[in-house]
Amino acid sequence: MADIRAQLRFLSFSAQKVRLVVDLVRGKDANTALEMLRFVPNGAAQPVLKLLKSAVANAEENFGISRDDLYVATIFADEAPTRKWRRFGARGRFKPLLRRSSHVTVVLREREA
């Protein structure tokens, strides 16, 4: 069985914050992971939930696999490009602001009966 894969690129949350959410659902059943993400208060949980829903929909539509048979095999968040902003401080000083972003990838697999 092929892996069902979905990617979310250039998410405007740092990879460190997304990893806190992603670690909660790794290895869980797809339905359990979807329910867990609905109630996680982190801001990064909503985009990850949307990505997981997309992966489940891909599995059902393209491969004909029931969502009850799916589990989250791997899910990870990588660093994406950092936007560098500038803020000017007192006495002509320069204070850089780093706007970090991340790429999230989820891989679903079918449970073997």
Whether residue 54 contacts residue 6, with contact meaning beta carbons closer than 8 Å, is answered with yes
What is the Cα–Cα distance from 61 to 55, expressed in whole angstroms? 10
What is the Cα–Cα distance from 34 to 72, expressed in whole angstroms? 10
* Domains of the chain (ranges, CATH numbers): 4-110 (3.90.470.10)
pLDDT for res 112: 84
Task: Output the tens digit of pLDDT for each of the chain's 113 residues.
Answer: 679 999 999 999 999 999 999 999 999 999 999 999 999 999 999 999 999 999 999 999 999 999 999 999 999 999 999 999 999 989 999 999 999 999 999 999 999 87
Whether residue 37 contacts residue 52, with contact meaning beta carbons closer than 8 Å, is answered with yes
Helix (H) or strand (E) holding 104: strand 102-110
Residues sharing a CB contact under 8 Å with residue 65, sequence separation 6 or more, in sequence order: 4, 59, 110
pLDDT for res 1: 64
CA geometry: angle 60, 13, 44, nearest 5 deg: 50
